[in-house]
Amino acid sequence: MTTGQTPVMEIRHVFKRFDATQALDDVSLILYPGEVHALIGENGAGKSTLIKIMTGIHRPDQGELLLDDEPIEVHNSQEAQGYGIAAIYQEPMVFPDLNVAENIFISHRTFGPIVRWKQMYREAERILTQLDVKLDVRQPARGLTLAAQQAVEIAKAISLQVRVLIMDEPTASLSAHEVRQLFNIVDALKEQGVAILFIGHRLEEVFEIGDRITVLRDGKWISSTPRAQVTADAIIRDMVGRKVEDFFVKSQTESGERLLSVHGLGKEGVFQDINFDIHQGEVLGFAGLVGSRRTDVGLALFGIEQADEGQIIFDGQERKIGSPQQALDLGIAYMSEDRRKLGLVMPMSITTNISLPTLKNYLSSLGLIKHKDEMATAEHFREELTIRSPSVEVEVEKLSGGNQQKVMLSKWLNANPKLLILDEPTRGIDVGAKADVHHLVNDLAAQGIAIILISSDLPEVLAMSDRVLVMREGRQMGVFTRDEATQEVVMTAAMGQNHAKNQTVVETRA
């Protein structure tokens, strides 16, 4: 950004309230051409509300938006596009049955009632070349990777002469290679003078791509600083008001009796020869790269997927787990990595979601639901897990991601599990909500609950686990104690390489 450069867009002293919740409280933001402005904050900090005001979904109660120093009013997304303001999200919104070019120009009306196909394909190719993206413009969108779909969304924004591009958690579901491709596109957009508002939770990415970093907390503006003048520790303190060392809190606890033993567990074509024990009060981390099949093992233990070989001994007896209900009856609960599709019923209330797996406990003798008992349970978890919501009757789709995650945890804790399988429990939530989840895991282990922690966040696995099981392409590569499980050792095993300090890798592969 050049000193004295005129901002493309300004948000000045914006306020927004929803019932009892003050979502934005005097927030201001300046976006410059050719600059990536990173916006971060805890879930519930007000980031989503600010985006919706910029794109016309919500109107501010007070404050104003300016474009080129002139006040504007944005009433809907079409008006936002007219001003050159566009947004792409974590899950791209492409039409799977249309091809790449059709998706890029779906919002255009300049082609008239008769589509000029050759012109459209040429223009689509020109835009993708401009972004250094190699895609067949005639290819159906259905077969595109998430990264390619996001490239199509960005190309669509470019076709609409975007001046302000909002990128909301665009890397959450991407591999490291795909993130690099996306950042190359961002660099190309900067060269073209586009102002980019980048919302992310991964601080390493924010520091890599951001030129300026703004922090929101509880709907308020906290700080806005050039990247070169701020540290990760300072940013985290601004976000949550806590020190970095407070985030990973696993304390040493003595594990109890053996709860689960798995011997030679396998599912044809998915995973094979999985062997481990877990004791009461122990956290067993599952680590591995994308495609390692960690989740599939968790699904088999919960009865969603059926293992076709091996032995499961739970509470001293051999068990055949053929359904989630059988798993629940034994005392096994599984929190899915996909809270929107598999974890929560988004249009339903906090109360209903928490009671769903144990609904029989809330039925009267006449078979009617005892709603007061349901609400009392939900209120208990809202207080215990600090779920930010004005009421337990609020639909979970209206909550921030971190609070949705806490509702999903509450749902399974309400089943009083002996073994809790947590699959990516902190994916897509901010560092403050992560700290809350880590404290909860620590407390649950101290209460004697055995926990399998499946996570792609290696620092999280290393910090929170008593032992770490490493998988690669459906095979177990080794089990390491807390002292043995360094980042180097775990990554070496996850990549299928031997390590001098780890003979287990060779033995389990034989």
Q: Which pLDDT does position 509 carry in this prediction?
A: 31
Q: Give the tokens for residue 47.
A: 């980031």
pLDDT at 505: 37
When mean pLDDT is compared across 5-14, 95-104, 178-187, 344-353, the lowest value belongs to 178-187
What are the Cα distances from residue 357, in Å, to 143, 347, 349, 394, 415?
Answer: 35, 17, 14, 19, 7
pLDDT in tens, 464-497: 999 999 998 899 999 999 989 887 788 888 877 6
Answer with the residue of higher pLDDT: 249 or 167.
167
pLDDT tens, 325-356?
Answer: 999 999 999 999 888 778 899 999 999 999 99
pLDDT tier at 507, thresholds 50, 70, 90? very low
pLDDT of residue 399: 87
Going from the C-alpha of 318 to that of each of 219, 299, 315, 329, 402, the distances in angstroms are 52, 18, 8, 15, 37
Q: What is the pLDDT of residue 504?
A: 39
User: What local confidence, expressed as pLDDT, does residue 110 receive?
Assistant: 53
Kindly give the residue spans of alpha helices, DSSP state H, lying in 55-168.
77-82, 100-104, 117-130, 146-159
- Segment 130-156 shows an average pLDDT of 86
pLDDT of residue 43: 65
What pLDDT, on a 0 to 100 scale, did the predictor assign at position 408? 92
Q: Which of 240-244, 348-352, 368-372 has the weakest average pLDDT?
A: 240-244
Lowest mean pLDDT segment, chosen from 21-30, 44-53, 500-509: 500-509
More confidently predicted of 200 and 262: 262
**Domain 247-331+417-510, CATH among 3.40.50.720, 1.10.10.10, 3.40.50.300, 3.30.1330.90:** 3.40.50.300
Proportion of the chain above pLDDT 90, given as a percent? 50
pTM of the model: 0.60
Mean pLDDT along residues 185-192: 90
> What's the pLDDT at 113?
63
Q: Which residue has the tokens 């790269």?
A: 289
Q: Domain residue spans in the chain?
A: 9-244, 247-331+417-510, 340-415
Residue 229 has pLDDT above 90, yes or no: yes
pLDDT average, residue stretch 258-279 = 95
From 130, 118, 119, 121, select the one nearest 157 (Cα to Cα): 130
Q: How confident is the model at residue 19 (pLDDT cuts 50, 70, 90)?
A: confident
* 247-331+417-510 matches 9-244 in CATH topology: yes
Residue 7 has pLDDT above 50, yes or no: yes
Average pLDDT value for the chain: 86
Q: Determine phi and psi for 172, rounding to 5 degrees.
A: -60, -35
Domain 9-244 adopts which CATH fold?
A: Rossmann fold (3.40.50)
Q: What's the whole-number mean pLDDT along residues 41-48?
A: 80
For 490, what's the count of Cα atoms within 13 Å in the CB-facing half-sphere? Answer: 27
Q: Is the pLDDT of residue 31 over 80?
A: yes
Residue that is written with structure tokens 């003048």 in the block: 229
Q: Residues of the chain with pLDDT > 70: what percent? A: 92
